């Protein structure tokens, strides 16, 4: 499992690759900590849902929907992502 930050059309995006090769893209901005840190978050799961926890305050977000699963709060924006001819593409 791997997280990396990227700048896409002026937006900081957190890219996450799971061990099964699934890719996710969502906001790098942590709305609770007010910092660009989500690419350094803790990857895990809640049931069948892959998750990313903030590295600062540990709020848990769905990698699929961006919804905060650990408490009521703002969601992370998610982005479509694909690999095309060996290049990672993010629709921003």
* pLDDT single digits (tens) 50-85: 999 999 999 999 999 999 999 999 999 999 999 999
Domain with 48, as residue range(s), is: 2-84
- Give the HSE-up count for residue 18: Cα atoms under 13 Å, Cβ half-sphere: 14
pLDDT tens per residue across span 22-32: 999 999 999 99
- 91 found inside a domain: no
Q: Closest Cα partner for 16 from 35, 34, 42?
A: 42
Higher pLDDT, 10 or 92: 10
The DSSP secondary-structure symbol of 68 reads B
- Is the Cα torsion angle 28, 30, 34, 35 positive or negative in sign? negative
User: Does 2 score more than 90 pLDDT?
Assistant: no
- 90 found inside a domain: no
User: SS3 breakdown of the chain: % helix, strand, coil, rounded to 5?
Assistant: 5, 55, 45
Q: What is the CATH number of the domain that holds 69?
A: 2.102.10.10
In the chain, how many domains are there? 1
- 32 found inside a domain: yes
What integer pLDDT is reported at residue 65 of this predicted model? 98
Distance (Å, whole) CA 79 – CA 20: 19
User: Does 5 score more than 90 pLDDT?
Assistant: yes
């Amino acid at each position: 499992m791997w997280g990396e930050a990227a700048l896409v059309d002026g937006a900081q995006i957190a890219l996450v690759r799971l061990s099964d090769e699934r890719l996710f893209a969502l906001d790098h901005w942590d709305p609770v900590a007010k910092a660009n840190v989500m690419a350094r978050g803790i990857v895990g799961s809640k049931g069948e849902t892959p998750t990313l926890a903030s590295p600062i305050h540990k709020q848990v977000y769905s990698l699929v929907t961006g919804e905060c699963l650990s408490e009521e709060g703002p969601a992370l924006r998610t982005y479509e992502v694909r690999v095309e001819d060996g290049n990672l593409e993010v629709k921003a």
